[in-house]
Amino acid sequence: MLTKGKYDNIIKCNCVAKVKLRKLEKGSAKMKVSETNVFIFAGFLDCGKTTALQGLLLREDNAYKDRTVIICTEFGENEYYKPWLENRNIALIDIEEEEELSTEKLNEIADEYKPEFVFIEFNGMWDLKAFLEKQLPDDWYVANVFSLVDATMYDIYLKNMRQTIMNPLCVSDVILFNRCDDSFKKGDVRRSLKLLNPRADVFFTKKDGSVDEDFEEFIIENSGGIVNITEEIFSQWFIDCIENTEKYYGKTVRFTGKVSNGEGLCNNQFYIGRYAVVCCEADAQFIGFLAEYDKQIPENGEWIEITATLEKGEIEGDKSVIVLKTGDYKIVDPPKIVYLYF
């Protein structure tokens, strides 16, 4: 179990799983056997990238021997132990400028080393989204993208460098927060990141490296049988509704949102929600619910305060969806700031 080990177990298990899955896909589709697995480790300086990567390669059960290349683009306090790398025929290539990490450079590496595995320690200030759009050498594919975050610095990064830190997080397969203490709001952070990147696995580790799965439960109080959803908790509540749907069925809620009349809706249906921002306003996304009302429904674009009961609806197949059975609503003025920020 991951909870009994150090965080490098998370990295190892994800790496191995992706390689095995790829081999199964190649076998079933008769794809080329000779491929290069590329693993990217992203994050700001001193977030633990070098430690994590070197920990993976130093394991006794290390499968990444020979024909392995490490591309290092950032240089912090921890360094790779070069004699150990040389002893295992693992090449270390330093790249200092973002422009140098080009398709041409990668092709040179492919021709010279013909690697089976490539590990890229990616500079946290560089544009990972842009890099992933680059043309890779023939038979190279990105197997996994890891993002490591120093939990003690996360709030500072959000306040001062939100777009920069969110750039890798939105394209990562695994997001790992290290150095977490009891004050770090793991549940809130995880819910915000699942909104940004639903496919990512998010892990938290303590200062000793052990995995921390003690999440604070999302609890909201009700008043007179009605749960009031304020702006401050709407986004977290929305994600909790998606992940823990059953606990909300039958509850009556009240919140303010914007109406959207989408295509394919019945005459008594409309969407209501808010625009949530995790990275920047340009990437804002509408999050909300399908609502039904047996009387006159609100107009598209109106802001309303709605009181409704959450019930189970059905869509294609066996999938269920929350439907707001509207008890009443009133038209209100738009909020001064229409976006919700995590």
- For the segment 190-237, what is each residue's pLDDT rounded down to a tens digit? 888 888 888 899 999 988 888 887 776 777 777 778 999 999 889 889
Same domain, 202 and 239: no
Same domain, 63 and 177: yes
Q: Which residue has the higher pLDDT, 55 or 261?
A: 261
Q: Which three-class secondary structure state does DSSP give residue 247?
A: helix
User: Which range of residues forms the domain containing residue 324?
Assistant: 222-341
How would you label 206-228 residue by residue, b for 16+ Cβ within 10 Å and e otherwise?
beebebbeeeeebeeeeeeeebe
Same domain, 199 and 293: no
Domain boundary among the residues 175, 206, 237 is at 206
312 belongs to a structural domain:
yes
Rounded to an integer, the average pLDDT of 143-165 is 92
Same domain, 145 and 233: no
Mean pLDDT over each residue of the chain, to the nearest integer:
85
28 belongs to a structural domain:
yes
CATH number at residue 27: 3.40.50.300
- Residue pair 209/6 in contact by the 8 Å Cβ criterion: yes
50 belongs to a structural domain:
yes
Q: pTM surpassing 0.85?
A: no
Q: Residue 33 contacts by C-beta under 8 Å, 6 or more apart in sequence?
A: 26
Q: How far apart are the C-alpha atoms of 95 and 98, rounded to whole Å? A: 8
pLDDT at 95 over 90: yes
pLDDT score, position 319: 66
251 belongs to a structural domain:
yes
Q: Using CA atoms of 9, 128, 98, 104 in order, give the dihedral in degrees to the nearest 10.
A: 90
pLDDT score, position 18: 61
Same domain, 186 and 304: no
Same domain, 302 and 265: yes
Q: What are phi and psi of 63, to 5 degrees?
A: -100, 0
Same domain, 188 and 230: no
Check residue 260 and give left, alpha or beta (phi > 0: left; psi -120 to 50: alpha).
Answer: beta
- Number of domain units in the chain: 2
Same domain, 231 and 137: no
114 belongs to a structural domain:
yes
- Residue pair 57/64 in contact by the 8 Å Cβ criterion: yes
Same domain, 22 and 49: yes
Same domain, 227 and 195: no
Same domain, 71 and 109: yes
pLDDT score, position 4: 37
Q: Which residue has the higher pLDDT, 260 or 83?
A: 260
Domain boundary among the residues 182, 206, 230 is at 206
Q: How confident is the model at residue 318 (pLDDT cuts 50, 70, 90)?
A: low
CATH number at residue 258: 2.40.50.140
8 belongs to a structural domain:
yes
Min mean pLDDT across 12-16, 91-95, 191-195, 291-295 is at: 12-16
Residue 92 CB coordination number (10 Å): 16
216 belongs to a structural domain:
no
Q: Which three-class secondary structure state does DSSP give residue 298?
A: coil
pLDDT single digits (tens) 252-283: 999 999 999 978 888 999 999 999 887 777 77
Nearest to 177 by CA among 144, 213, 143, 128: 213
298 belongs to a structural domain:
yes
Domain boundary among the residues 146, 179, 206 is at 206
Residue 319 CB coordination number (10 Å): 8
Same domain, 187 and 232: no
| Structure-token match 């929600």, residue found | 273
